[in-house]
Amino acid sequence: EPEVTQTPSHQVTQMGQEVILRCVPISNHLYFYWYRQILGQKVEFLVSFYNNEISEKSEIFDDQFSVERPDGSNFTLKIRSTKLEDSAMYFCASGRGTNYGYTFGSGTRLTVV
């Protein structure tokens, strides 16, 4: 069964450092997403990406965040200057369309110290 692959599985970074979280979506999917989940809380939407541009973003996704699809397979989330409150699980997801269930990756646990 096709999977969304995320790397690394765990990243520890110092406050103020830049991090890049990487994702390989399912190959025939057209819609790509990043969500995050702070420990013990619900999953929160960050951003959606379609046709090589951001289609929707939440209030969380401020100018410290950016996304990129640098080639035909990878989809990345960059946090320019990490804060302690950015510590969370970050999930990448992809989907065939907006009214289809997404497939989520296993997540990257980001710990900012």
Partner 1 sequence: GESVGLHLPTLSVQEGDNSIINCAYSNSASDYFIWYKQESGKGPQFIIDIRSNMDKRQGQRVTVLLNKTVKHLSLQIAATQPGDSAVYFCAEKDSGAGSYQLTFGKGTKLSVIP
Residues that bind partner 1 (CB under 8 A): 4, 31, 33, 35, 41-45, 48, 50, 55-56, 58, 91, 93, 98-107
**Given the complex with partner 1, which of 55 and 73 has the nearer CB atom?**
55
- Residue 16 in contact with residue 82, Cβ under 8 Å? yes
DSSP 51: T
Residue 110: count other Cβ atoms within 10 Å of its Cβ: 21
Q: Considering the complex, what minimum distance in angstroms separates the CB of residue 16 from partner 1?
A: 28
Residue 106: count other Cβ atoms within 10 Å of its Cβ: 14
Determine the Cα–Cα distance for residues 28 and 13; give it in Å rounded to an integer: 33
**Given the complex with partner 1, which of 33 and 75 has the nearer CB atom?**
33
Q: Considering the complex, what minimum distance in angstroms separates the CB of residue 21 from partner 1?
A: 13
List Cα–Cα distances, 88 to 26, 65, 70, 106, in angstroms.
23, 14, 24, 13
Q: Considering the complex, what minimum distance in angstroms separates the CB of residue 41 from partner 1?
A: 7
**Given the complex with partner 1, which of 17 and 55 has the nearer CB atom?**
55
Q: Considering the complex, what minimum distance in angstroms separates the CB of residue 106 from partner 1?
A: 5
